[in-house]
Chain A
Amino acid sequence: MSCTILGPLSSSSVSLPFYSFRVPAGFPSPAQDHIEAEISLDELLDLRAPHMYLVRISGDSMIDAGLFDGDLAIVNRAMQGRPGLIVIAALNGDALVKRLAKEGEQLVLRAENKAYAPRYVLEGDELLIWGVVTHSVHCHVPG
């Protein structure tokens, strides 16, 4: 596995006062001419769009998909749920996070943890795809 460092992150799109370098006497900052717009996680993940929601993951049914208990899921309500995607689903009123799948004509909500059986959506079940999980935030610092 490799990673690429992206650069500094701005905390959010909330506007903060911008202080330019002011050196009344002496040398101007050598960085002054190289200031670029900061990277914003809000923008990167489209967090401020009206169809984006934050949801807290509870339980361990999706750990093989990298979603752990207490993680934050970023959910897009405008996206059409389709097989292969991780969705927030309301099944008979229960809020679930599962991977949507299709076996023939049969819709399935699959956990990503061997301890959990897949849930087949049967006739008489009421399924509402609430939104699609596009990203998640996991804290790697223990405690």
Chain B
Amino acid sequence: MSQAESAIALVDCNSFYASCERVFRPDLLRTPIVVLSNNDGCVIARSAEAKVLGIKMGEPYFQIRQKLRQHGILAFSSNYALYGDMSQRVMTILEGMAPVLEVYSIDEAFADLTGMPGSLEALGREMRARVLRCTGIPVGVGIAQTKTLAKLANRAAKQWQRQTGGVVDIRQPAKRDKLLRAMDVSEVWGIGRQMTAHLADMNIRTAWELAQSDAWTLRSKFSVVVEKTARELRGTPCLALEEQVPPRQEICCSRMFGKRLHELAPIREAVATYAARACEKLRTQHSLCKKVRVSIRTGMFNPDEPKFAKGIICELPYPTDDTRLITKAAAEGLELIYRAGFAFSKAEILLLDLRQRGEFTDDLFVATPPEAAERVMGVMDAINARWGRGTMHPAGVPAQPDWGMRREMMSPSYTTRIEQLWRVT
């Protein structure tokens, strides 16, 4: 028996953050919406209506405030508790419909549909209908032989939503070639702005032209990645579905403060808070770290402010995931790099030199992690998982910091906080 032809679907939520904001606000069905980055900095998501009105990704909020008011566009602070919960719901539904699912980001997933019986386009429509019914989030589905083609098919499903009903299957060569000819090479997954320019020099302007290019030339001129992209566009799978994300090699927690900080004490609080969060991430992937880098900086764009940025790497006595140990090291590092007289805007904690538990060999002559510490951390994580983040925290982390993130237009956490549930009359 010949092997079944591969079939990959890319399911992608339409304007995900904006769509999440609408789920519990049916009055905003047709209202243009934008969602802002941390500290209400700049636009990171737009509803279709906001796109039509000419709002661009990355535009700073303070520059477009007037324009938003003028067009009746509603701005939201990012509400990651809501987006995370809605994402989990969408992915759970998709997992129930496809044998293998790779969650690629908060709002998109690849599904391996190879060998599924029946019409895959019908299955795509059913995915779309079920996610919409169960969550209120509209999705687009692109189906093809490879991940790169599925991405392209998904773009077509979005671009020609009305004609396609949000589902496009390009496994037939005629359909695939038609789409490849219609798509600019910059629309291809993994082809960035610089690469687009390089390819233009070689007269490669459409996805079709990239697909027709000689694979070996692409590899020798650019990289194996571009070569694989071209092969994938021709329908040869080169990128496998990754069901399990490998543990990260470094963990970062960095945020802008809600306001400028001058004194050491509140910065120390912020550093302790970020360190505690980074340690939680560390323990979730069951890793230990041997180094922690702490850095602080002032604003970098205001010409009237004196600028300063400095970081330091602190060595830990042994590979650990103990919040207390890591926070202590970070606080000591901070003392060394802090300078009075500056208006600091951001701190960052980076956990480095990560390894999996049991990977390091005990050195007989250095201190080893006490077993009690592990149990303390386990209990702390369990308590915070049960009663909400921050229920139990090291004393250096304040419960309600006045330097916290600015989120002045945030919607309630409708699905994750009992006191903020949706109210109906």
Which of A's residues lie within 8 Å of B, judged by CB? 14, 17, 50-51, 53-59, 61, 72-73, 77-78, 88, 90, 93-97, 128, 130
Which of B's residues lie within 8 Å of A, judged by CB? 24, 26-29, 88-90, 92-93, 130, 133-136, 382, 385-386, 415, 418, 421-425
Which residue in B135, B385, B425 is a CB contact (below 8 Å) of A59?
B425
Q: Which residues of A contact B26 (CB under 8 A)?
A: 90, 93-95, 128, 130
B385 touching A57 by the CB < 8 A rule? no
Which residue in A61, A77, A78, A95 is a CB contact (below 8 Å) of B422?
A95
A95 touching B425 by the CB < 8 A rule? yes
Q: Which residues of A contact B89 (CB under 8 A)?
A: 50-51
B27 touching A94 by the CB < 8 A rule? yes
Known contacts A50-B92, A61-B425, A88-B424; A77/B136 CB under 8 A: yes
A56 touching B93 by the CB < 8 A rule? no
Q: How far is the CA of A110 from the CA of B425 in the complex (A)?
A: 12
B135 touching A56 by the CB < 8 A rule? no
Q: How far is the CA of A78 from the CA of B93 in the complex (A)?
A: 11
B425 touching A54 by the CB < 8 A rule? no
Question: With A59-B425, A93-B29 given, can you name 8 additional A-B contacts, CB distance below 8 Å?
Answer: A14-B386, A51-B133, A56-B421, A58-B423, A58-B425, A95-B26, A95-B424, A130-B136
Most buried by A among B93, B130, B421: B421
B284 smallest CB distance to A (angstroms): 15
The secondary-structure label for the interface of chain B is helix
B424 touching A50 by the CB < 8 A rule? no
Known contacts A50-B92, A55-B424; A77/B134 CB under 8 A: yes
Q: Which residues of B contact A95 (CB under 8 A)?
A: 24, 26, 422-425
B424 touching A57 by the CB < 8 A rule? yes
B422 touching A50 by the CB < 8 A rule? no
Q: How far is the CA of A37 from the CA of B19 in the complex (A)?
A: 39
Q: Which residues of A contact B92 (CB under 8 A)?
A: 50
Q: How far is the CA of A53 from the CA of B413 in the complex (A)?
A: 12
Which residue in A50, A88, A94 is a CB contact (below 8 Å) of B93?
A50
Q: Which residues of B contact A58 (CB under 8 A)?
A: 423-425
Q: How far is the CA of A57 from the CA of B133 in the complex (A)?
A: 22
B420 and chain A: residue at smallest CB distance: A56
The list of the 7 closest CB pairs from A to B, nearest first, reads A93-B27, A90-B26, A51-B134, A50-B89, A50-B92, A56-B421, A59-B425
Q: Which residues of A contact B24 (CB under 8 A)?
A: 95
Q: How far is the CA of A128 from the CA of B27 in the complex (A)?
A: 11
Known contacts A55-B422, A77-B135, A95-B424; A50/B90 CB under 8 A: yes
B135 touching A51 by the CB < 8 A rule? yes
A62 and chain B: residue at smallest CB distance: B425
A98 smallest CB distance to B (angstroms): 9
Q: How far is the CA of A107 from the CA of B24 in the complex (A)?
A: 23
Q: How far is the CA of A73 from the CA of B93 in the complex (A)?
A: 22
A139 smallest CB distance to B (angstroms): 12
B424 touching A97 by the CB < 8 A rule? yes
Which residue in B29, B88, B423, B425 is a CB contact (below 8 Å) of A50?
B88
Q: How far is the CA of A67 from the CA of B241 in the complex (A)?
A: 47
Q: How far is the CA of A59 from the CA of B29 in the complex (A)?
A: 25
B144 smallest CB distance to A (angstroms): 26
Q: How far is the CA of A72 from the CA of B415 in the complex (A)?
A: 13
Q: How far is the CA of A78 from the CA of B131 in the complex (A)?
A: 9
Q: Which residues of A contact B135 (CB under 8 A)?
A: 50-51, 77
Q: Which residues of A contact B424 (CB under 8 A)?
A: 55-58, 73, 88, 95-97
Q: How far is the CA of A72 from the CA of B424 in the complex (A)?
A: 10
Q: Which residues of A contact B136 (CB under 8 A)?
A: 77, 130
Known contacts A50-B88, A53-B415; A14/B422 CB under 8 A: no
Q: Which residues of A contact B382 (CB under 8 A)?
A: 17
A14 and chain B: residue at smallest CB distance: B386
A55 and chain B: residue at smallest CB distance: B422
Q: How far is the CA of A97 from the CA of B424 in the complex (A)?
A: 6
Q: How far is the CA of A58 from the CA of B418 in the complex (A)?
A: 14
